[in-house]
């Protein structure tokens, strides 16, 4: 199916696929796609795979149905596939959808008009570049809208006599642009980017909270005791300022999300600004709880080789693809060889790696939650997983399980049955247990070894 490779399609391709799916269970032309219609448009699955096919179509329709009426019209269909093509992550798509759901409650037609504005402007860009009308007809194929084109849309809306919802959004974009914020001349905007800007793209301030666990002694005595002069012996937490809540993430045996400045370490000696991230709060916590929680546990805490600063560095790589300051990151290596550090190591490990639950959220510190979840991944179970960090959850039926991944069969978005490797770190949840007497597949040794490679 063409939809299985949505990157190759534009709006016209999405429209063609919609009419095909809508007609799957309706005579003639239908105006909406239902779960049954989507399933009916796919190649008929084997009876043993019907449970998987139904769960997959349900998951797709849940994300597609923005109006909450258990079906998707043409605009919702195009929107779903364009985000599937363009969005940087599932959580990013979800944030855009949450804003659109609220907008649709006050104006049912706003999504269709936004697609019209985008498609018209992309076509104008293509014609202006000499592509010709034939190419411009489906120019919304992922190539992107120019910054000039986006501003042109906003100026048209601002000058329009119609008081529509997106006119307010356009005025806000133009005001930010006039103030020197937001739009750069060489930017290209996908459909996702276009909606994100019009709905109010946000970036969030990131800081490193630096606490001196020596309580001032390091500045006076570190040269004598440790062979280097330090302003502090650093414990760090990464703070992100989201509009709904600011959070401080830190490692102390468990991984914690706390109100900034309320951790057991008191007031930070320094707050170091580290820039901005576009990651959402749930994206950050999902990464902490699902990926980093197995790497940073109470059992493997070590004040010199696997501590809070190593965690802060890993989280910063996720948030901004950048490291924490070198002076913090390299401090443990600089003191590892000293007699004082080795003598204090057991006591510091017990203190700094042994914090119990604080206010806010925390992992269990043992990796036990992740282990129990993985134990429920049995042959025949239906699971939800991602193929990449932050990716759209996929429904799969487990065929076999290794230590670090399982082999699943799943339906692609065109209804074709495919085999996939589901990494343990990207498991979301177990949707349904295996049916009784489900036969475990006997994999060849090479395939079994490949699961954990």
Residue 200 has what DSSP assignment?
-
Helices vs. strands in the chain: H and E counts, helices first: 18, 15
As to burial, measured by CB atoms within 10 angstroms (0-12 exposed, 13-18 middle, 19+ buried), residue 43 is exposed
Q: Pick from 239, 183, 188: which is nearest to 211 by CA?
A: 239
Asked if 447 contacts 36 with a C-beta cutoff of 8 angstroms, the reply is no
Cα(240)–Cα(271) distance, rounded to whole angstroms? 12
Active-site residue numbers? 235, 308
Using CA atoms in the order 284, 286, 291, 292, what is the torsion angle rounded to 10 degrees? 50
Residues 6+ apart with CB under 8 A from 252: 264, 301, 308, 352, 353, 354, 355
* Listed residue (404, 205, 238) closest to 317, CA to CA: 238
Quick one: which of 145, 195, 140 has its CA closest to 173? Answer: 195
Tell how strand 394-401 and strand 382-385 pair up.
antiparallel
Angle CA(354)–CA(359)–CA(364) in degrees, nearest 5?
45
Query: Parallel, antiparallel, or unpaired for β 270-277 and 204-212?
Result: antiparallel
**Whole-angstrom Cα distance, residue 94 to residue 195?**
12
151 CB-contact burial (10 Å; exposed 0-12 / middle 13-18 / buried 19+): middle
Q: Which of 419, 402, 401 is CA-nearest to residue 410?
A: 419
């Amino acid at each position: 199916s063409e939809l299985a490779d949505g990157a190759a399609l534009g709006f016209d391709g999405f429209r063609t696929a919609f009419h095909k799916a809508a007609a799957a269970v309706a005579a003639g032309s239908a105006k909406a796609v239902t779960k049954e219609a989507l399933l009916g448009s796919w190649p008929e699955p084997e009876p043993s795979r019907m449970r998987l096919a139904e769960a997959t179509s349900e998951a797709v329709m849940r994300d597609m149905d923005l109006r909450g009426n258990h079906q998707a019209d043409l605009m919702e269909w195009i929107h779903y596939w364009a985000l599937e093509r363009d969005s940087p992550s599932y959580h990013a798509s979800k944030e855009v959808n949450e804003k659109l759901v609220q907008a649709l409650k006050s104006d049912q037609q706003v999504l269709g008009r936004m697609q019209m504005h985008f498609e018209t402007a992309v076509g104008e860009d293509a014609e202006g570049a000499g592509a010709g009308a034939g190419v411009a007809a489906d120019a919304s194929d992922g190539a992107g809208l120019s910054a000039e084109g986006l501003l042109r849309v906003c100026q048209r809306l601002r000058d329009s006599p119609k008081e529509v919802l997106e006119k307010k959004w356009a005025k806000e974009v133009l005001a930010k642009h006039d103030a020197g914020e937001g739009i750069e001349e060489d930017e290209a905007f996908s459909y996702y980017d276009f909606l994100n800007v019009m709905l109010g793209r946000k970036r969030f301030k990131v800081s490193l909270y630096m606490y001196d666990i020596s309580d001032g002694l390091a500045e006076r005595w570190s040269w004598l005791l440790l062979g280097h002069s330090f302003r502090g012996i650093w414990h760090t937490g990464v703070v992100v300022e989201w509009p709904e809540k600011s959070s401080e993430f830190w490692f102390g045996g468990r991984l914690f999300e706390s109100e900034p400045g309320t951790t057991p370490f008191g007031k930070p000696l320094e707050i170091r600004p580290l820039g901005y991230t576009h990651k959402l709060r749930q994206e950050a916590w999902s990464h902490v709880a699902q990926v980093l929680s197995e790497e940073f546990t109470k059992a493997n805490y070590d004040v010199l080789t696997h501590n809070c600063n190593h965690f802060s560095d890993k989280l910063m790589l996720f948030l901004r693809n950048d490291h924490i300051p070198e002076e913090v990151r390299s401090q443990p290596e600089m003191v590892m060889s000293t007699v004082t550090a080795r003598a204090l190591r057991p006591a510091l490990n017990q203190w700094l790696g042994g914090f119990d639950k604080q206010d806010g959220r925390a992992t269990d510190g043992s990796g036990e939650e992740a282990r129990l979840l993985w134990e429920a991944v049995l042959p025949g179970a239906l699971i939800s997983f991602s193929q990449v960090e932050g990716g759209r959850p996929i429904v799969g039926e487990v065929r076999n399980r290794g230590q670090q991944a399982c082999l699943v069969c799943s339906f692609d978005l065109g209804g074709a049955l495919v085999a996939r490797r589901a990494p343990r770190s990207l498991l979301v949840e177990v949707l349904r247990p295996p049916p009784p007497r489900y036969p475990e597949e006997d994999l060849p040794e090479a395939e079994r070894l490949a699961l954990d490679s």
